[in-house]
């Protein structure tokens, strides 16, 4: 038997499971412990709906826009609570969920609490849940597969960092602005350490179209010898480097480098992971769709680390990108957490063509050349799918979507194919810059 504290410290969220059922008696044990949780005035008004059949899960995905992760789990438990008082419902449901997660760990069962379950109204219809119930959480249960079982628990904040004795003490908080200039190296590291571990190591966190990836592949295809890729992060572009390239990846911190290394393993590529500030030898350097996410002070620091040829691929300001960002700020406000953009890196601001060239010249780069592509940003296809997911889930999620075809998605596909890799110069939404120092 595990010690109580061992259970708490070893518990981790599991997102990949063995294709074997969890015995009903084990599920029953987990639920038996869940009802030991306290509730307001001892009302005990929970309900636990246990779902094992694939057809119901598919209905939840297709009709309610639920997270597709439920396909991977042998058992899905929907936790609801009488909604006569919403604050009590959330408190009572959350306490039971905590007991379930700890008990599942005790019995060797992997678990994942999930709030991206889609539309409450449609979930209630599919599962015949009365209107007087508040859906508190979905819980996935199953035995972890080898990848999940061997993964280390994620880095945790120290309690002293968030503890306030007597009254709330105002401390420096991270920025949640779109503008990278409002962020620091430390807040970017914190975002990558904590928020971006919400999934699993090696998952591509960036959003890009096939055309943007294809452009990366074209620009990197002729590289040979040693190459340094700065801010590799999720490793989304590692497989676009030629196989004969000796690739060194440079990240902000050890935890991010772990993310990069796992992505490389999944792509069957060997890399040399490094941390920014370590001594790096002159070679070819690349910066792929990351420049638009860093404050100037960090960009300048990276420029100092570069000697030799330098290739930048980034989204740049153009009318259609301006229209996109203007619209989402108008709808969601200035807090980037309310958009799907925050998931991928934190801040985001397409670069200025002129300002970037000036910075490069000031940093000592010569022989600067550039080309602009994609008048209409090709990731509009993904944005439309995210919007469809947002609507279908009643505003509860952007991701984990099933692709939905309609006249607009087909029109966007045709438009992207029509513009292809035509050069649009200053009017393009993506810029490729080559220079050397």
Cα distance between residue 228 and residue 285, in whole Å: 5
Name the pLDDT band for 150 (thresholds 50, 70, 90).
confident
Report, as an integer, the average pLDDT of 12-37: 96
CA distance 104 to 93: 16
User: Which pLDDT does position 322 carry in this prediction?
Assistant: 93
CB-count exposure of residue 278 (10 Å: 0-12, 13-18, 19+): exposed
Distance CA(219)–CA(241), nearest Å, equals 9
Position 107 scores a pLDDT of 96
- pLDDT score recorded for residue 2: 65
pLDDT score for 153: 79
The CATH class of the 180-436 domain is alpha beta
Higher pLDDT, 288 or 385: 288
Mean pLDDT, the chain, rounded, equals: 91
Are the CB atoms for 241 and 229 separated by under 8 Å? yes
Give the per-residue pLDDT at 247.
Answer: 94
Q: For residue 400, is pLDDT > 70?
A: no
For the chain, which residues make up each domain, given as ranges?
4-150, 180-436
Write down the pLDDT at residue 1.
52
pLDDT tier at 12 (50, 70, 90 boundaries)?
very high
Q: Which residue has the higher pLDDT, 256 or 357?
A: 357
Question: What SS3 state is found at 369?
Answer: strand
| Residue 397 pLDDT class (50, 70, 90 cuts) | confident
Rounded Cα distance between 80 and 133, Å, is 6
What does the alpha-carbon distance between residue 48 and residue 76 come to, in Å, rounded to a whole number?
10
pLDDT at 215 over 80: yes
Whole-structure pTM value: 0.86
- Which option is the CATH number for 4-150: 3.40.50.2000, 1.10.287.3510, 2.40.50.140, 3.40.109.10? 3.40.109.10
At 128-147, the pLDDT tens digits run 999 999 999 999 999 999 98
What is the rounded average pLDDT of the residues 376-395?
88
Assess whether pLDDT exceeds 70 at residue 294.
yes
For residue 208, name the pLDDT band (cuts at 50, 70, 90).
confident
Q: Is the pLDDT of residue 292 over 90?
A: yes
Q: Taking 80 as the threshold, does the pLDDT of residue 278 lie above it? A: no
Q: Of the ranges 126-135, 139-148, 279-288, 308-317, which one carries the lowest mean pLDDT score? A: 279-288
Residues forming a β-bridge with 49: 78
DSSP for 93-155, written as a single string: HHHHHHHHHHHHHHTT-EEEEE-----HHHHHHHHT--TTEEEEEEEEEE-B-HHHHHSPPPP
């Amino acid at each position: 038997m595990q010690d109580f504290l061992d259970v708490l410290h070893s518990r981790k969220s599991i997102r990949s499971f063995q294709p074997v059922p969890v015995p009903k008696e084990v599920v029953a044990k987990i639920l038996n412990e869940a009802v030991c949780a306290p509730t307001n005035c001892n009302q005990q008004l929970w309900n636990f709906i246990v779902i094992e059949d694939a057809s119901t899960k598919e209905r939840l995905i297709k009709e309610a826009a639920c997270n597709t992760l439920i396909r991977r789990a042998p058992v899905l438990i929907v936790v609801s609570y009488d909604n006569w008082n919403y604050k009590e419902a959330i408190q009572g449901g959350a306490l039971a969920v905590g007991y379930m997660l700890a008990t599942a760990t005790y019995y060797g069962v992997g678990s994942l609490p999930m709030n991206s379950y889609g539309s409450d109204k449609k979930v209630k219809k599919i599962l015949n849940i009365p209107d007087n119930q508040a859906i508190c959480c979905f819980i996935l249960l199953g035995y972890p597969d080898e990848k999940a079982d061997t993964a280390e628990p994620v880095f945790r904040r120290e309690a002293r960092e968030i503890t306030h004795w007597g009254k709330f003490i105002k401390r420096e908080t991270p920025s949640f602005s779109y503008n990278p200039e409002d962020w620091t190296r430390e807040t970017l590291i914190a975002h990558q350490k904590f928020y971006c571990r919400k999934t699993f190591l090696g998952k591509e966190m960036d959003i890009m179209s096939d055309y943007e990836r294809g452009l990366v592949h074209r620009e990197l295809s002729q590289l040979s010898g040693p190459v340094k890729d700065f801010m590799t992060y999720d490793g989304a572009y590692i497989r676009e480097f030629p196989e004969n390239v000796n690739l060194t990846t440079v990240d902000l911190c050890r935890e991010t480098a772990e993310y990069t290394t796992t992505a490389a393993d999944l792509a069957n590529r060997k890399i040399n992971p490094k941390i920014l500030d370590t001594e790096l030898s002159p070679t070819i350097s690349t910066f792929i769709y990351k420049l638009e996410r860093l404050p100037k002070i960090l960009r300048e620091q990276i420029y100092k680390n570069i000697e030799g040829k330098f290739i930048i691929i980034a989204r740049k300001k153009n009318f259609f990108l301006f229209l996109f960002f203007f619209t989402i700020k108008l709808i969601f406000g200035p807090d980037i957490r309310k958009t799907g953009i925050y998931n991928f890196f934190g801040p985001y601001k397409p670069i200025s063509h002129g300002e970037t060239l000036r910075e490069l010249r000031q940093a000592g780069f010569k022989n600067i050349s550039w080309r602009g592509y994609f008048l209409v940003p090709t990731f509009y296809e993904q944005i439309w799918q995210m919007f469809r997911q947002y609507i279908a889930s009643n505003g509860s999620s952007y991701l984990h979507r099933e692709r939905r075809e309609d006249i607009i998605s087909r029109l966007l596909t045709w438009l992207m194919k029509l513009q292809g890799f035509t050069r649009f110069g200053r009017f393009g939404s993506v810029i490729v810059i080559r220079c050397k120092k």
